[in-house]
Amino acid sequence: MSAPAIRVEDFIKRYGKRVAADGLALTVQRGEIYGLVGADGAGKSSLMKSVAGVLAHDGGTVEVFGTVIDSERAAEKVKQRIGFLPQGLGLNLYPDLSIEENVDFFGRLRGVPGAKLAERKNMLLGMTRLDAFRSRPMRQLSGGMKQKLGLVCTLIHEPELVILDEPTTGVDPVSRRDFWAILGKLLEEKGITALVSTAYLDEADRFHRVSLFHEGKVMGEGTPAELIARVPGTLALFRAEPQADALPRLKAQFPQTEAMGAWLRVFAEGLDAAQARAAVDTCLAASAPADTTIHLSDWFAREPELEDVFVAMLRQRGARLNTSLPADAPAAAPTSTLAIEATGLTRVFGDFRAADAVSFAVPQGEIFGLLGANGAGKTTVIKMLTGILKPSSGAGRVAGADMRSAGLAIKERIGYMSQAFSLYHDLSVVENIRLYAGIYGLDDRRARQRSDWVIGMAGLAGFENDAAGRLPMGLRQRLALGCALVHEPRVLFLDEPTSGVDPIGRRMFWDILFHLSRREGVAILVTTHYMSEAEHCDHLALMFAGRVVADASPEAMKQALIASAGQLLELRVDRPVPAQNALRDAGFANVALHGRAVHLLSREADTDRERLPALLDKAGIAVQSVGLRPLSMEDVFVQRITALEDAGRRSP
């Protein structure tokens, strides 16, 4: 048997006094996609850089293709066999070079002969759909295009091992799915080995095996199915009215409970489906006051997902899931007052229309999601509504003020958490809060009161005097949210607020948003690339090329997709890439790889469940299972945006 591609034992890495990795161990077999999952600062990047030979470690053994990487000379022996894509959009690229010039540069740097370079370049640019943009400078690419170009440059010399550090963070779902399809095809056809880290736990299905990282240690390793089996339980999805009363009661018994739009999502650890239903019913009946009845409907129960297991493991290690927000605060009274109105908002830069006649409305107390691929125009719309950017045409009102003329009035009535900058990293937690309180004109007494509220809300007790830049990502984002809320605005704008935040941090963040919406009546407009977070929104607007192309609730968007394209079938197969090709040849247009499974939309789901195993068997592909799977917002997003992109390519 050949030596493994990677063998790591007792790996230790320190940065000054901080231990980033403490005794890590893993083995990656050749031809395997191995995933590293964990929060920022868990040790993933340190390990990957050491495997790539670009970072020295302080203890333990790192072995790549049988060579112990303990010096620069040893690293040089295997570097030609490795491709490394570092974390960050396009950080391995040259912004002033075009797509083609970047690829040529990396090809020559890796010593790829001219004829081979041209052949591989044509193949990879075609696979990534970048061939039509060869002359475009890298700095003008969207985030998804940058990552696909980075992958092309990483693969141009046909490495045996690719090391990809969070390659899809900050990338829209269409580019994310493209990225995985390209990688899966190359791994299957070329036999490449891949070591990949991710902040998206829904990507774990795409890995053969996974290590779960936490605070520099591995707390679990195995196939996704093996890891899920380690924490048995039931994932329940249902509606409960009134939702704002049901959520805190369920959280008291089931810590892993979250609101997702009109639905509640509960992980009942250690219970089967029947036991979970009985426990939820008992909890809601026992905790409700005598004059209150909570009605439960639309119950669905299924196996938990890896994120549920990961969060449960962290809880078992003492991780805190809940904020200190008052669970018994009265629900905000329903209102039809509009907090945000956009009417025909347009912004033109030269001959480029970043936003094109954008219209939507957000009632007070609603969580409104603005979705779209990189470069769709979401941030431009937010900047116009908040008065940062003047529109070329159109109108907008925010918190009752006209965005064109109100100026300071709008700024006093809104909270804004930008994608790029919200905090002063050299200032402490308290200093940041007091600074924002001063900017918004709060007096000393009110500033102290709101500072105490922010620290409690964000779970920052004990961190008051720590520099903001030294906080873990999840705490830092909650501090930024607190600073945006210090003056008690009625409207809150959040631009990609949880990018790079670990699952527990994201859940706590959304608990806060739910409280603000349901209990305090704050209107929230949020952009996100996490399609699981889109499920939390009451209403969504989907943007494409600067225009709003869909405007409905998440549930309505899913039902519209089922009506137009059919239900979602999941096929577990032994060879996903050939299965995808065979299904497309059989006439299925909407087919996508999903780890070791293939997803497709079928208008005749019952019939196709019966006939597809035989169809694939003729192609030499073994089918382990075929079943219906609920549509996700990612399925909706990818199908709608892909159809629009295809239509754009067909039009003259």
pLDDT digits (tens, 9 = 90+) for 191-234: 889 999 987 777 777 888 999 988 889 989 999 889 999 999 99
CB contact at 8 A, 621 and 597: no
Structure confidence by residue, pLDDT tens digits, 615-628? 999 999 999 989 88
Cα atoms in the 13 Å half-sphere on the side-chain side of 14: 6
Per the model's pLDDT, the better-predicted residue between 400 and 50 turns out to be 50
Helices marked H in 36-138: 44-51, 72-78, 99-109, 114-127
Residue 317 lies in a domain: no
At residue 291 the predicted structure's pLDDT band, cuts being 50, 70 and 90, is: low
The fraction of the chain above a pLDDT of 90, given in percent, is 46
Shared domain for 147 and 185, answered yes or no, is yes
For residue 599, the domain's CATH number is 3.30.70
Domain boundary, last residue among 226, 241, 261: 226
Span of 322-331, 490-499, 613-622, 643-652 with lowest mean pLDDT: 322-331
Mean per-residue pLDDT for 545-572? 92
> Per-residue pLDDT for 380 more than 80?
yes
Phi, psi of 29 (to 5 degrees): -80, 155
Same domain? For 295 and 345 the reply is no
**Which string of DSSP letters, residue by residue, matches 212-250?**
EEETTEEEEEE-HHHHHHHS-EEEEEEEEESHHHHHHHH
Please indicate, yes or no, if residue 312 is contained in any of the structural domains. Answer: no
Q: What is the pLDDT of residue 459?
A: 80
Q: Are 392 and 464 within one domain?
A: yes
Q: Are residues 375 and 298 part of one domain? A: no
CA angle 265, 489, 342 (to 5 degrees): 80
* Residue 327 reports pLDDT greater than 60: no
As a whole number of Å, the end-to-end CA separation of the chain is: 55
Confidence of residue 293 (pLDDT cuts 50, 70, 90): confident
Average pLDDT over residues 44-53: 93
- Count H helices, E strands: the chain? 21, 28
Residue 57: the pLDDT is 94
Where in the sequence is the domain holding 522, given as residue range(s)? 338-552
The pLDDT of 457-478, averaged and rounded, is 83
What local confidence, expressed as pLDDT, does residue 503 receive?
A: 76
Amino acid at 560: A
358: left (phi over 0), alpha (psi -120 to 50) or beta: beta
**Looking at the domain assignment, is residue 262 inside a domain?**
yes
Task: Establish if 325 belongs to a structural domain.
Answer: no
Residue 523 pLDDT: 95
**Structure token digits, residue 561:** 């997709």
If one compares 292 and 19, the residue with the highest pLDDT of the two is 19
* The predicted structure's pLDDT at residue 647: 76
More confident residue, 539 or 519: 539
Query: Is it the case that residue 116 has pLDDT exceeding 90?
Result: yes
Structure-token pair, residue 117: 């370079």
Q: Are residues 591 and 538 in the same domain?
A: no
Lowest pLDDT segment from 43-47, 172-176, 542-546: 172-176
Contact by Cβ (8 Å): 168, 198: yes
Q: Which residue, 552, 572, 597, sits at the end of a domain?
A: 552
Q: Which element (helix H / strand E) includes 268?
A: strand 263-269
Question: Where does the pLDDT of residue 461 fall: very low under 50, low under 70, confident under 90, or very high at 90 and above?
Answer: confident
Mean pLDDT of 507-530: 86
| Residue 141 and residue 220 share a domain | yes
Do the beta carbons of residue 459 and residue 324 sit within 8 Å? yes
| Tens digits of residue pLDDT in 71-81 | 999 999 999 99
Q: Is the domain of 446 the same as that of 545?
A: yes
Give dist(CA 485, CA 396) in Å, integer. Answer: 22
430-452: burial string, b at 16+ Cβ within 10 Å, e else: bebbbbbbeebebeeeebeebbe
Percent of the chain with pLDDT over 70: 93
Q: Which pLDDT belongs to residue 196?
A: 93
573 and 454, same domain (yes or no): no
Q: Which two tokens stand for residue 573?
A: 């197969």
| Same domain, yes or no: 622 and 501 | no
pLDDT at residue 144 tops 80: no
Q: Using the 3D structure, point to which of 180, 196, 226 is the last residue of a domain.
A: 226
Same domain (yes/no): 424, 506: yes
Is 324 inside any structural domain? no
Domain membership of residue 355 (yes or no) is yes
**Number of independent structural domains in the chain:** 4
129-138 long-range contacts, CB within 8 A, separation 24+: 129/178, 130/99, 133/99, 134/98, 134/99, 134/100, 135/98, 135/99, 135/100, 136/98, 136/99, 137/95, 137/96, 137/97, 137/98, 138/90, 138/93, 138/94, 138/95, 138/96, 138/97, 138/98, 138/99, 138/102
Helix 554-565 × helix 633-650 angle, to 10°: 60
In the structure, what pLDDT confidence band is assigned to residue 432 with cuts at 50, 70 and 90? Answer: very high
On whether both 265 and 387 belong to a single domain, the answer is: no
322 part of a folded domain: no
Range 425-433 average pLDDT: 93
Mean pLDDT across the chain, nearest whole number? 87
Q: Does residue 6 carry a pLDDT above 90?
A: yes
The domain that contains 153 carries what CATH number? 3.40.50.300
Beta bridge partners of 36: 197, 211
Q: Is residue 601 part of a domain?
A: yes
H-run or E-run covering 526:
strand 523-527
Split at pLDDT 50, 70, 90, the class of 583 is: very high
Mention every residue, 6+ apart, whose C-beta is less than 8 A from residue 115.
Answer: none
Q: pTM of the full predicted structure?
A: 0.80
Those residues whose C-beta lies under 8 Å from the C-beta of residue 462, and which sit 6 or more positions away, are none
Asked if residue 500 has pLDDT above 70, the reply is no
**Judgement on whether residues 266 and 390 belong to the same structural domain of the protein:** no
